[in-house]
Amino acid sequence: MSESTIVMFAGESAAMQAAAEQAQASFKYFWRELSWEYRRIIPGLGLAAVKVAFPSGREGEEPGVEHMWVNDIQFDGQTISGTLLNSPQWCDNIAAGDPVSVSLADIGDWMYTIAGKVYGGFSIDVMRQDMSDSERADHDQAWGLDFGKPGQVLIVPAQQPEKKGFLSGLLGKKEPLAVVSTEDLPEHPMSENMVEKMDEGLRDDPSFARSVDENGWTLLQKDALAGNLAPVTLLVKHGAELDAVNPRGETALDLARKMGWPRIVAFLEKKLH
């Protein structure tokens, strides 16, 4: 991304504030997508980044903040960390490539791309709606991305109905197609696709279901945070400890509740009773 794509504005309009709220409310789907991206051997995403407002450090001067993108995202349920993607024009205390850590409440947007198609980009959509057709075409050409129709922000790719299998049996019904709703969207397609292989791997080595990483997190906690129902059910099936806690004392159920994954919450609550 070139410096010309940096978005900056001094005041937050009502539309931009609403866009930030939508981005924060739907961030869990961005993190779910990244949780699978980090498992892929061959990357499936192009750009994957969040937008953060950095104080310019120039008191009394405009703009008071500089909005820039951060990539290489990690998330622990509380802190979003990554690397500054843009070269600042106004901020003197940070540079492209610097590490960044912020809370979920500090982000103003998120965006990922698949084959050049944009998902997220709430603040960008606000600006595109105010552009003429020619301005919007120039804007999209500068990014080299397909932002879709103005006024419609995609959350996840449209999905085909799941085949009769693990999740459809578990949930007792077919999943709906998902495009832009931020309700409880269908399970990520990779969840269904990896069930057999993951089940086999956990049968061969059940201790993997109870392993803890260098940061003190279990696989069950990670998948509960990311909203991955199929891995959660398989890990529990093969002996994952439901009451294990991360360094902040949170169980997998706590994390699923915090992020708002109702199907995982219902499954774990049932297993605990």
Domain boundaries, the chain: 3-143, 182-272
> Does the global pTM surpass 0.75?
yes
Q: What is the architecture, at CATH level 2, of domain 182-272?
A: Alpha Horseshoe (1.25)
* Rounded Cα–Cα distance for residues 90 and 4 (Å): 14
DSSP state at residue 146:
B
DSSP state at residue 198:
H
> In the predicted model, what is the mean pLDDT of residues 7-17?
67
8-12, 17-21, 51-55, 152-156: least confident range: 8-12
With bands split at pLDDT 50, 70 and 90, how would you rate the model's confidence at 273?
confident
Edge-to-edge strand order for the sheet containing 65-75? 99-103, 79-84, 65-75, 48-55, 107-114, 117-120
With bands split at pLDDT 50, 70 and 90, how would you rate the model's confidence at 178?
very low
